[in-house]
A and B are shown apart, each in its own frame.
Chain A
Amino acid sequence: MSQSEIWTEKYRPSKFEEVVGQQEILKRVKSLVQSMNIPHLMFAGPAGTGKSTLALIIVKELFKETWRDNYLELNASDERGIDVIRQKVKDFARTKAIENIPFKVIFLDEADALTKEAQQALRRTMENFTNTCRFIMSCNYSSSIIDPIQSRCVVFRFKLLEKKDVAEVIKKIAEKEKLKVDDGAFQTLYESSEGDCRRAINLLQATASISPDINSEMINMISSSTKPSGIRVILDYALAGDFVSARDKLLDVVLKESVSGQELIKAIQKEIWNLQIEPEIKVRLTEKTGEVEFRMTEGSDEFVQLQSLLASFVLAGQGKTL
């Protein structure tokens, strides 16, 4: 198979030795794998810290060339409903692993996207197939996974990659791809990717698609063009009392840029402190923003909630609050 042209894949470590950061976890996982038996595992930690990579290394080490036959990757945030997952798991687990290892491995990515009810159902599925399958689950916070599942897994907590780790990865890629990356660019790549290695590499490749000479300014340009734009415009309309324009722009941003309500609300929360309004009102608006963010996690309609927030901004524009 030809080498991938997408760098996050091309430079994804395939051996324990190649992994950068998470050294404590590596040591423990490695010894588990060497015993040719693993318990259910849970990888908790932020995006781009090596959870999927480690899962892939584990199956490659266990099954060598036949890893593809013995490995199933599911993404909980894409597979709608536990029934789909259960069916896929069932189909996959029906046949035994061919190798001298008596189980297959299922990697359930973003397991925290499952509702509590779905997790309960998943727990039963895990029990039913415990002889033939091992689960590796990834999530951002282990607290969003129900206790019965956690207690069946060995939990590993992944930390954000440090600046030197990200720099090491970038340096290696830059060398291989013959890029010139100046010192400022390393700093900027780390900052705008917030320790997310996948994002840092993507950002590097996107920038490199324009020029092999990479500096801080270019990275900033690419990075800001890939972040939700127009937040300020929305808020400015609202502060000026033009609610309808603010709302139209809001819908526009949500639709055209596939930004989730959660991301928007985070961006709004940050932007509040750059606005030209009384600090006291900023505090009140922050309170409202927090309430809206909470409601979204609770299952409210994102657009209705964002509109109610915008209406508060209209008042704030006149120096008032509800």
Chain B
Amino acid sequence: MIKHNSLAEKYRIKKYFDIIKQDPAVDEVKKFIKEFPKKKALILYGPAGTGKTSLALAAAKENDLEVLELNSSDLRNRAQLEIVLKPATEQMSLFKKGKILLVDEVDGVTGTDIGGIAELMRLVETTKFPMIMTCNDVWQSKLSQLRQKCKIVEMKALQTITIVEILRRVADNEGIKKDISFLNKIAIKSQGDIRAALNDLQSYAGGDISEVDTLERRDVEDNIFNILKKIFKERQPFLDIFDSTKMSLDEILLWLEENIPKEYKNEALAKAYYALGKADVFRGRIYKNQSWRFLIYQNIFQSAGISFAKTNSMPQSFTKYEPPKRILKIWLNNQKMEKKKTISKKYAKYVHCSTKRAMRDFQMIKMIIQKPAVQEQLRLTEDEIAFIKK
């Protein structure tokens, strides 16, 4: 017997297919295989860990079909696919068993897999066996043509109660003694992802409940306020502090920019902005040259760089950090300045200069275009005229 390393793999087909079989998707897949070749291919889509692959595998098992599994990296190119699939699609298996083609994660077929999608399309047309594909998002545009040729079946995220039930059965089977509240915690944390839940069950099988708590805390997205607090108050090389948030480095940079003066004064202030300025220089280079390697420098300057701007760590007192106001102000201002821009544009075209220059000299231009005759020549609207009279 094969020894499975992970519970998720071990119970992939055996147990939890029993439980999710109420899912309407199961019937759809069964029907598809039965009616083949009415429809030649089926796409199962849904969030990670909802059992897409498992369902395909289980369906094969139930119908005593051999599974020929491909992942997106096998689709790398046409030639390679040809070798793998030609024999498979054109002759029956040696043991006279029927086959099912499983192509996992077709959304992983990207622009770099030249011809990958095209090849899939061709496969769908020529296959002599039922073909099942899985993906997270079937509605993306690159899959639009493929979509038309296939039956589409959705798999929803598993309900927490279903996951608890699966965990309970697996725990029983494995002799893991855990009470139901422990299993509940794992289930809630998994957010419908059974694979994650089983992995957690396995990794905490030997531990106790308190460990699940730490695990949860670690996983909770560290919010920006905590990050700012750590950077500003403590004095540590926080190199991976931003890993815990989904916020982009550029957005964090704005938060830091806004809040530095709330914490730092004088020398620390100057040093912190020096570091922020450096982070920004690298940010600029990343954009200009697409050199993503520089992210590491931006990261270090805006974490450790700012943390070490002060000579001593600071008391953990409460500071009210504020979201970046600059972008909002600029936006509001742009709204207000819209008239100025349209006027400048008309003026610029008329006198053969750039709109930018007209905006810059607007105070002077405003005086020049007060005459009605000029306004007529520039074809200013009434709103615009009202604006320059203010």
Contacts and interface: CB of A to CB of B under 8 A. Distances in A.
Interface string A1-30: 010111111000000000000000000000
Most B CB atoms within 10 A — which of A78, A109, A241, A251? Answer: A78
B97 interface: no
A290 to B, nearest CB: 14
Contact of B362 (A56, A198, A258): A258
Interface residues of B, number: 52
B342 to A, nearest CB: 13
B329 to A, nearest CB: 6
Contacts of B354: 75, 77-78, 109-110
A247 interface: yes
Contacts of A6: 347, 350-351, 368-369, 374, 377
A206 B280 contact: no
A247 B261 contact: yes
B138 interface: no
Interface in B338-390: 340, 347-348, 350-357, 359-365, 367-371, 373-374, 377
Interface stretch (A172-180, A272-280, A299-307): A299-307
Given A258-B360, A300-B284, A5 B351 contact: no
Contact of B287 (A198, A244, A259, A299): A299
Of the four ranges (under 10, 10 to 19, 20 to 34, 35 or more), the interface on chain A belongs to 35 or more
Q: Which of A243, A257, A258, A315 has the most CB of B within 10 A?
A: A258
A304 B367 contact: no
Contacts of B356: 77-78, 260
Interface in A273-322: 292, 295, 298-301, 303-305, 307-308, 310-312, 314-315, 318, 320, 322
B270 A314 contact: yes
A246 B272 CA distance: 17
Which of A110, A263, A304, A310 gathers the greatest number of chain B CB atoms within 10 Å?
A304
Nearest to B288: A299
A201 to B, nearest CB: 9
Contact of B371 (A5, A203, A241, A243): A5
B61 interface: no
B119 interface: no
Contacts of A210: 367
A314 B355 contact: no
B233 interface: no
Given A222-B367, A304-B280, A318 B266 contact: yes
A308 B348 contact: no
A70 B235 CA distance: 66
A73 interface: yes
A142 interface: no
B352 A56 contact: yes
A209 B360 contact: no
B277 A9 contact: no
B277 A199 contact: no
Contact of B281 (A9, A198, A247, A298): A298
Given A78-B354, A251-B329, A255-B329, A307 B257 contact: yes
Nearest to A307: B273
A249 to B, nearest CB: 13
B283 A300 contact: yes
Nearest to A317: B266
B363 A75 contact: no
A228 to B, nearest CB: 9
A311 B261 CA distance: 9
A202 B364 contact: yes
Interface string A199-219: 100110110011000000000
A69 to B, nearest CB: 17
Contacts of A198: 351, 353
B283 A301 contact: yes
B271 interface: yes
Contacts of B363: 225-226, 257
The 9 closest A-B pairs by CB, nearest first: A308-B277, A311-B273, A308-B273, A206-B367, A299-B284, A226-B363, A255-B333, A300-B284, A311-B270
26 contacts: A5-B371, A47-B357, A56-B352, A77-B356, A78-B348, A109-B354, A110-B354, A203-B364, A205-B368, A206-B364, A206-B368, A209-B371, A222-B367, A255-B329, A258-B359, A260-B360, A299-B285, A300-B283, A300-B284, A304-B280, A307-B277, A312-B270, A314-B266, A314-B270, A315-B270, A320-B266
